[in-house]
């Protein structure tokens, strides 16, 4: 049997990571990695388990909608030609990426999770 609580914790931790300012996000990864990619990928990998969590009733319809909107915003922003060669500075200050951070915070509030640093065991 799959550990659905692990998947839930992973999703919550990825939201918390996504909600942080870039100066705090980058602290979670080694210098040799592409940090903007890793932040986004952490959420992308966690959201893959959303259907399993929905099946067990882990999230309200509003929470599910917010998670899907956030995923859509990330995909839309990532695919923008403006961010073809996404660098640290763009990821740090671009309005589009700050909107993603804001939406992640809003989603955490909707889910009922505190806005705080993520548990590193799930990053």
On whether the CB atoms of residues 86 and 5 are closer than 8 A, the answer is no
pLDDT for position 78 = 86
pLDDT for position 72 = 97
Instruction: Count other Cβ atoms within 10 Å, centred on residue 73.
Output: 17
How distant is the alpha carbon of residue 64 from its chain centre?
14
pLDDT for position 89 = 82
pLDDT for position 91 = 85
On whether the CB atoms of residues 39 and 13 are closer than 8 A, the answer is no
Question: How confident is the chain (123 residues) per 10-residue block, as mean pLDDT?
Answer: 88 98 94 92 96 95 97 91 77 91 98 96 94
């Amino acid at each position: 049997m799959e550990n659905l609580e692990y998947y839930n914790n992973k999703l919550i931790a990825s939201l918390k990571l996504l909600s942080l300012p870039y100066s705090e996000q980058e602290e979670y990864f080694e210098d040799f990695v592409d940090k903007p990619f890793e932040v986004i990928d952490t959420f992308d990998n966690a959201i893959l388990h959303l259907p399993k969590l929905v099946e067990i009733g882990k999230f309200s319809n509003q929470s599910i909608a917010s998670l899907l909107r956030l995923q859509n915003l990330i995909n839309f922003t990532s695919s923008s030609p403006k961010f073809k060669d996404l660098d640290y500075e763009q990821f740090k200050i671009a309005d589009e990426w700050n909107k993603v951070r804001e939406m992640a915070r809003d989603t955490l509030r909707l889910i009922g999770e505190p806005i705080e640093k993520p548990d590193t065991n799930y990053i």
